């Protein structure tokens, strides 16, 4: 038995409205009364009608879709941020799809190519930053895009939304110094990541202000994926490296450090004070509340979406958007 595909004219015949009215109601246009929209939308749903997005995109030139390219969706920081982006995009009539890179530049290249092949209207990307070739390629395509959370300082024509990482590093270290910690280990991300460099700059500023010496041995660059912090803390303890405070590049890295310290019989905050970065406990709750540097993921997501949609609607816009959002310290039990 052949299944008949329901068309706009079928919904119009069933409801008694014109095809034009039905089309506008299904697009939720406000010039159609709410009661009329409700009748048409409910009838269309019962009849099994759905909007042909491919046909719509061919007519309008837009797919109403956005690609979000990030490192690791299993990291709650990215999970929270992507959820915020999805909600905000949906309210503007856009759908998103997510591609992860595992912080690998080759996977990032494939992710960009995949997004382009889907004819997305724009891309939000947290770049791996192992190189800038992928971003330069993206520029050449002409597809609007915005960097999320990371930036290329030497590139002045790339839009980005980041948090104030320098201040984040500064306030974390100042707090640890203020509570009496003298040897502060920094579990940092790789130095090719802009936020890692900026947070290290803040670390040094706080030490300098306090008249404390800088010890390069306490700066450890490790990968930002799961498991690396545990291994680094284990190695430091085995090697007898002295430290009494920890500042971690992310909350997940901080939690891994606490796990290993507890496993080795140490207590937080009695033996070690720990500060993370991201404030994922604004949405998640754990047995110990982590002191952390916070930036508003809602604000970051909203500004990123706002900038991208503005660029989509006006591809010839000359303005460059470089936004640095406030960071603040949330003091909890780990210090």
Helix 34-47 vs helix 8-15: crossing angle, to nearest 10:
120
CATH number of the domain within which 68 lies: 3.40.50.2300
Same domain, 71 and 137: yes
Same domain, 88 and 197: no
Report the C-alpha gap between 206 and 172 in whole angstroms.
Answer: 9
Q: What is the pLDDT of residues 66-97, one digit of tens each?
A: 999 999 888 888 889 999 999 999 999 899 99
pLDDT on residue 2: 47
Q: What is the pLDDT of residues 282-325, one digit of tens each?
A: 777 777 899 999 998 899 999 999 999 999 998 778 788 999 99
213 CB-contact burial (10 Å; exposed 0-12 / middle 13-18 / buried 19+)? exposed
Same domain, 209 and 120: no
Q: What is the pLDDT of residues 105-156, one digit of tens each?
A: 999 999 999 999 888 999 999 999 999 999 999 999 889 999 999 999 888 8
Full domain range(s) for residue 173 = 165-294
- Domain total of the chain: 3
Report the C-alpha gap between 296 and 304 in whole angstroms.
Answer: 12
Same domain, 128 and 212: no
Q: What is the pLDDT of residues 248-293, one digit of tens each?
A: 999 999 999 999 999 999 999 999 999 999 999 877 777 789 999 9
Give the single-character DSSP code of 28: T
With the CA atoms of 294, 299, 301 and 304 taken in that order, what torsion angle do they form, in degrees rounded to the nearest 10? Answer: -120
């Amino acid at each position: 038995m052949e299944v008949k595909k329901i068309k706009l004219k079928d919904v119009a015949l069933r409801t008694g409205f014109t095809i034009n009215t039905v089309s506008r109601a299904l697009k939720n246009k406000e010039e159609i009364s709410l009661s009329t929209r409700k009748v048409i939308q409910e009838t269309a749903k019962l009849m099994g009608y759905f909007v042909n997005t491919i046909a719509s995109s061919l007519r309008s030139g837009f797919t109403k879709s956005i690609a979000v390219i990030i490192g690791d969706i299993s990291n709650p920081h990215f999970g929270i941020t992507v959820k915020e982006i999805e909600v905000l995009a949906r309210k503007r009539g856009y759908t998103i799809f997510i591609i992860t890179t595992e912080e690998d530049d080759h996977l990032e290249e494939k992710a960009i190519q995949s997004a382009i092949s889907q004819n997305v209207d724009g891309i939000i990307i947290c770049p791996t930053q192992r190189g800038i070739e992928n971003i330069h390629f993206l520029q050449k395509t002409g597809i609007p895009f915005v960097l999320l959370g990371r930036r290329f300082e030497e590139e002045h024509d790339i839009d980005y939304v980041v948090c104030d990482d320098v201040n984040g590093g500064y306030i974390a270290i100042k707090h640890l110094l203020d509570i009496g910690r003298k040897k502060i280990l920094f579990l940092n991300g790789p130095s090719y990541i802009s936020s890692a460099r900026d947070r290290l700059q803040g670390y040094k500023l706080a030490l300098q202000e306090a008249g404390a010496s800088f010890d390069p041995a306490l700066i450890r660059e490790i990968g930002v994926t799961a498991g690396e912090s545990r291994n680094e803390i284990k190695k430091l303890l085995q090697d007898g490296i002295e430290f009494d405070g920890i500042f971690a590049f992310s909350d997940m890295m901080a939690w891994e450090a606490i796990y290993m310290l507890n496993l080795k019989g140490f207590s937080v905050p009695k033996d070690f004070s720990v500060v993370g970065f991201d404030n994922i406990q604004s949405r998640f709750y754990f047995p110990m509340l982590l002191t952390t540097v916070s930036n508003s993921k809602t604000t970051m997501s909203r500004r990123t979406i706002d900038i991208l949609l503005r660029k989509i609607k006006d591809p010839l816009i000359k303005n460059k958007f470089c936004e640095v959002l406030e960071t603040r310290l949330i003091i909890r039990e780990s210090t």
